[in-house]
Amino acid sequence: MLFLRHPLLLVPSIKATKQTFALCNTYYPGGHGKSNKGNAFRHAVWNALLCTYSLKRTKSKQKSVFWAQKVTDLYEKVTNNNELDELMDLQNNAVGRLYFFNYADKKESELINFIFEKSKVAEKIANAKDIKLYPANMVYIVS
């Protein structure tokens, strides 16, 4: 239903998703499907790329960020994560959109490298309260 309302954003969204998995398999081979730093990278880079690729259609950073949030919030609703995993994913999604805002005028490779470097220093959390301590950082649960 979401893509029926915004058909021109379907192709950029698919491209962002495919690129995200390719990058994850390069930077975190075999380790981005768990609640670890690779997962934090995956969520942040997916959101940043959704924003980047949709920007060519929306012509607005804010509209691109709104689109990425709609797509990824919907994704979180349909997955059956436990509460802490979902909060972690939502945090990393938001951080990816924030990084896009700061790097929208840079090359895509610079944005990706920045997110990768930030993922290496993501903050380990144990509960929902911990997430609030790191509003602009990626977070993860397990090493």
62 residue type, one letter: Q
Which residues does residue 123 pair with via DSSP β-bridges, in sequence order? 139
pTM, two decimal places: 0.94
The count of structural domains within the chain is: 1
Residue 4 lies in a domain: no
Domain containing 130: what range? Answer: 14-140
Residue 6 lies in a domain: no
Residue 38 lies in a domain: yes
Residue 1 lies in a domain: no
pLDDT interval class at 130 (50, 70, 90): very high
- pLDDT tens column, 103-125: 989 999 999 999 999 999 999 99
Residue 8 lies in a domain: no
Residue 101 has pLDDT above 90, yes or no: yes
Q: What percent of the chain has pLDDT over 90?
A: 88
Distances 12 to 50, 78, 117, 139 between C-alpha atoms, Å: 7, 21, 25, 26
Residue 92 lies in a domain: yes
Length of the chain: 143
Residue 97 has pLDDT above 70, yes or no: yes
Mean pLDDT for the stretch of residues 65-83: 94
**Rounded-to-integer distance, Cα 115 and Cα 101, Å:** 13
Residue 71 lies in a domain: yes
Q: How many CB atoms neighbour CB 93 within 10 A?
A: 23
